[in-house]
Chains A and B, each alone.
Chain A
């Protein structure tokens, strides 16, 4: 774009190498990416393409072996509330009620009790779980747990939400429903979303831009802008053309690895 705004996220030539038992694994090589504020970006690729590694580096859970990860042009040195993470396995605190899970972040930042309660209530309502504020995570379905996880990072004033295959463990109907709800939230709140998935359709349905990644070593292969109008019709010809194109590209990378 023309105006020189500072990107919310900058990934500059990032590589990541793990060494375990004397064996080096190159999880990510020379990845570069910028995300503007308010964008919805999907990282798409098969397992082993480094998409989760890239997300974890953006979150601050891991440091790059080389290169830089910046938020608002400042180095990311560790996890922070401004970058909320939504995990595939939810990561909810089982001993806390929905209310206290959502209030966990504000409480960590030393907010007064009344404000925590009010914030939690607002975001629990936002994800439609008002009736379940006092339930414990083990009493909730997968879709509801993931709603709690989303409310939890929103309640903590996250500017960017990092999602690691958040709907991967859900059944198809719940997944579609949550995709719609996520887009709705994104439109209303002006969040920035970085979303990891291996499902092509999910990426096309959600993203402004799709970052295609390929394995061995993990790297960014291509970036596609999706300019279909929302709400996107999964059965439209344009949607299917894009799906066919991405699918062909994805499979050409994985041909040697396919088993």
Chain B
């Protein structure tokens, strides 16, 4: 067979054949390029800076304000991280709490993924498993994770195990539901193609079902991890000594509002970073998909 004729028409879609970037705007205008590149970050900072300013001007130099000014929160955060400023019960404890929460979030999340992925693949693909499990899971699903808290406390006692259990539950359903959805939406044609190429039975799970469902699975993992962060704080608010949720609750009881705000900020950053990591991994694994990558 001779060389591809559409070869000439194709390369636009191939990354290797893309013309080098930076051709369109004048290359000899570095200032303009710099401004173009800074546009995104600058726009992203406008609202937070405005909020910070508002916060500062409504709270600074008002001794009876319920909310401490940003400078005080910043000071408290530094003390929590490194100590040496207040030297109280919260000093230099940040890493202990962060580590406690992180290990619960990722531990519970990993356990949820380990359970939900195979289960989702089976429910989506094996009618018998679906008939057995789907009704049960559908009834349990609407129960909010927070409603499990009392039962978890009865079962596992006051402590870290309950928090761990809640994280597991919170991450489990988004992963399961999206995996099932992903498996169900695999094009039937691909199973035929695999079968006629000699890939049949259980081998299709690994070589067809899993990769085809991966975009959906990743959506589930991202949602699941997000829920894990939501739930961990609730889980740590009762009877747990360490963790970001615990520190927030303890600070509230002691009226240390600046510590409460510090804790919230750290949770926000940690959640953001872990979502970013999952997203990057997803992009790499899904580079074949025109809607990802």
Interface residues in chain A, defined as those with a beta carbon under 8 Å from any beta carbon in chain B: 59-61, 78-81, 83-85, 87, 89, 91-97, 104-105, 108-109, 126-129, 131-132, 135-136, 138-141, 143-144, 147, 152-153, 156, 174, 177, 181, 184-185
10 A–B contacts, CB within 8 A, in A order: A85-B196, A91-B192, A93-B211, A105-B197, A108-B198, A108-B207, A132-B4, A144-B6, A144-B10, A181-B2
Say yes or no: A126 contacts B1, CB within 8 Å: yes
CB of B7 within 8 Å of the partner chain = yes
What is the interface residue range for chain B against chain A? 20 to 34
B212's contact among A95, A140, A153, by CB below 8 Å, is which?
Answer: A95
Given A91-B189, A108-B203, A127-B1, A96:B288 Cβ within 8 A: yes
In the complex, the answer to whether B197 meets A141 with C-beta atoms within 8 Å is: no
Q: Tell me the complex Cα distance, A141–B5, Å.
A: 11
List the B side residues contacting A153 at CB < 8 Å. 196-197
In this assembly, does B290 line the interface, its C-beta being within 8 Å of a C-beta of chain A?
yes
Whether B198 and A105, one on each chain, are in contact in the complex, defined by CB atoms closer than 8 angstroms, is: yes
Q: Known contacts A89-B189, A135-B14; decide if A128 and B288 are in contact (CB<8 Å).
A: no
Within the complex, the shortest CB–CB distance from B16 to chain A, in Å, comes to 9
Residues of B near A92 (CB, < 8 A) are 193
Which of B5, B187, B290 makes the CB contact (< 8 A) with A177?
Answer: B5
A-B CB proximity, top 4 nearest: A91-B193, A105-B197, A108-B198, A108-B199
Q: Is B190 among interface residues, defined by CB-CB distance under 8 A?
A: yes
* Cβ contact within 8 Å between B5 and A85: no
The minimal Cβ–Cβ distance linking A169 to chain B, given in whole angstroms, is 13
Task: Tell me if B289 is interfacial: C-beta within 8 Å of chain A.
Answer: yes
Candidates B5, B199, B289; contact of A174 at CB < 8 Å: B5
CB of A128 within 8 A of CB of B4, answer yes
Partner of B196, one of A83, A126, A132, A140: A83
Are the C-beta atoms of A94 and B289 separated by less than 8 Å?
yes
Q: Please give the distance in Å from A95's CB to the nearest CB on chain B.
A: 4
CB of B214 within 8 A of chain A? yes
Q: Is B9 an interface residue (CB 8 A)?
A: yes
- B208 at interface, CB cutoff 8 A: yes
Q: How far is the CA of A141 from the CA of B4 in the complex (A)?
A: 10
Nearest Cβ distance between residue A7 and chain B, in whole angstroms?
20
Q: Please determine whether B197 and A156 come into contact, CB atoms closer than 8 angstroms.
A: yes
Once the chains are docked, how many angstroms separate the CA of A128 from the CA of B2? 6
Which A residues are in CB contact (< 8 Å) with B194?
93, 104, 108
A138 touches which one: B7, B203, B212, B290 (CB < 8 A)? B290
Out of A85, A136, A185, name the residue touching B1 (CB < 8 Å).
Answer: A185
- Given A80-B196, A81-B197, A136-B288, are A87 and B10 also a contact pair (CB < 8 Å)? no
A93 touches B193 (CB 8 A): yes
Chain A: minimal CB distance from B155 (Å): 41
Q: Which residues of B contact A181 (CB under 8 A)?
A: 1-2
B34: interface (CB < 8 Å): no
Give 1 or 0 for each of B8-38: 1 = CB within 8 Å of chain A CB.
0110011000000000000000000000000
A141-B6, A144-B10 are known contacts. Are A80 and B290 too (CB-CB below 8 A)? no
Whole-angstrom distance between the Cβ of B188 and the nearest chain A Cβ: 10
A135→B46 CA distance, assembly (Å): 41
